[in-house]
Amino acid sequence: MKPTILLFACLAGTTALQAETGYKVTGRYPIAGTEGWDYVTLDESSRRLYVSHGTQVEVLDVDKGNPVGIIADTPGVHGIAIATGMNRGFTSNGREDKVSVFDTKTLKLIKKIDVGKGPDGIYYHPGAKRIFTNNHGSHDITAIDAATGEVAGTVKVKGDGEQAVIGADGLIYVNLEDTAEVVSFDANTLAVRKRFPIGVAKTPTGLAYDAKTNRLFIGTRAEPKMVVMDADTGKVVGSFPIGKGVDFASFDTAARLIFFSCGGDGLISVFHERSADQYEDAGSIKTQVSAKTMAFDAKKKKIYLPAAEFVETPATDPSKRPRRTVKPGTFGVLVVSR
C-alpha cells in the first residue's frame, strides 16, 4: 500500500486527533555547563532522569527537576542504561572506548570495562541480563554481563548501531545508521538472525516498537521519514514525512502514539497507529531546535528532551565551517506534557 494513499485516507480524523493529543512544553529543568550531550534515560522505578553531558552524567529527580548528583569521569558519554533490580547502571564513554559501571544508589563508580571502539547507544536486555553497547568505531556491539560487569562477547553487525528495541520474540532489533538496515540478534548466543534493508530512506536513528502489531517504527534522517516495518519479514508497510534531525523514537502502548524527536526542526513528530498497517499524522509538538533525543515517561505521559541554544563563531579560515558552542545558561531538559 502506498503511504500517501494511506495518509490521505486518514486525513478526516487528523484534526480531531491533533486536538486530543494536547502535548506542549510545560516546563524546563536547567542544568549548568556548556558541554555537549546525547541520550537521556529515565529510570521509572527510582524516578530518576540520567542526562549525558560531556564528561559526566547529570542525575535529576524526574518529577521535581532537582539535581540528585552526578556520575563523574565519563569522557564523551553518549548513553546510560539501567540494569533493573541489580542496583547497577552503565554509561557508554565514547572518547575512551569504555563503559563505566556505577552504583545507582550512591552514583559511585564501581569499575570501567573495555569495549569496542566508539561506544554510542547503550541498552539493557532483562531476559538475558546483559548490557549492550553499539560501537561506531569498530562497527560491532559489545555484550556485558550486567551482574559481573564482564564482557560476554561481541555481536558482529558490521555497522553503526543507533537505537535498539526488544522484540516480542526476545531478539534485539537495532538500526544501522551507516548501512540503512535493521538488524536483529540473539541476546544470549549473540548470533545475527535477520538483516532487513530499509530501502525507502537512509540514515536510520530513532527506533520504536509495538509488540501487539509486531511493527518497527524507524526514524530516518536522510529524506526524513517514519518507516513502518514488519519485524518478522522486513516488509515496509508505509513511510511518512517527519521533522529534520531525528535521533530518537518512543511508543505509547496505551494511546498507540509514536513519537520522533527531531532536533533539526525543533519538534516532535507524532503519529497514531490505527492498526498494523494504518497510521495517521497526529501533528507535531513544538520543542526547541537541538532537542534531538528524549525519554518517554509511560506512567505520567511526559516527555523529557535535553536542549540548548548555540553560538556560532566564524572560522579564521573562510573555507571551514563556523564553530558552534553551547550558549552559557541555556542547557536544560524540556518537559513536555498535556
- Of 191 and 5, the structure prediction assigns the larger pLDDT to 191
CA-CA distance, 336 to 338, in Å (whole number)? 7
Per-residue pLDDT band for 275 (boundaries 50, 70, 90) equals very high
Q: What is the largest CA-CA distance in the chain?
A: 56
pTM over 0.85? The answer is: yes
- Is residue 15 scored above 70 in pLDDT? no
Which whole-number Å values give the CA distances from 123 to 9, 31, 40, 75, 225, in the listed order?
37, 24, 12, 18, 24
DSSP of 31-66, one letter per residue?
---------EEEETTTTEEEEEETTEEEEEETTT--
Question: 165-187, pLDDT tens digit by residue?
Answer: 999 999 999 999 999 999 999 99
- Is residue 9 scored above 90 in pLDDT? no
Domains and CATH numbers, the chain: 3-337 (2.130.10.10)
Per-residue pLDDT band for 317 (boundaries 50, 70, 90) equals confident
The answer to whether residues 262 and 244 touch, using CB atoms and an 8 Å cutoff, is: yes
Per-residue pLDDT band for 14 (boundaries 50, 70, 90) equals very low
Task: Work out the mean pLDDT of the chain and round it to a whole number.
Answer: 93
Given the C-alpha cell 492498526, which residue does it identify? Answer: 275
- Is residue 117 scored above 50 in pLDDT? yes
Q: According to the model, what pLDDT value does residue 261 have? A: 98
Average pLDDT, integer, range 85-92: 97
Q: According to the model, what pLDDT value does residue 321 have? A: 85
Q: Which long-range contacts (CB under 8 A, 24 or more apart) does 172-178 make?
A: 172/123, 172/125, 172/132, 173/207, 173/209, 173/216, 173/231, 174/121, 174/134, 174/141, 174/207, 175/204, 175/205, 175/206, 175/207, 175/218, 176/204, 177/203, 177/204, 177/205, 178/139
Q: According to the model, what pLDDT value does residue 20 have? A: 58
Residue type present at position 320: K
Question: 192-210, pLDDT tens digit by residue?
Answer: 999 999 999 999 999 999 9
Q: According to the model, what pLDDT value does residue 320 have? A: 84
Per-residue pLDDT band for 248 (boundaries 50, 70, 90) equals very high
Closest CA to 262 of 286, 292, 223, 302: 292
The answer to whether residues 130 and 152 touch, using CB atoms and an 8 Å cutoff, is: yes
Question: 17-62, pLDDT tens digit by residue?
Answer: 443 579 999 999 999 999 999 999 999 999 999 999 999 999 999 9
CA-CA distance, 100 to 13, in Å (whole number)? 48
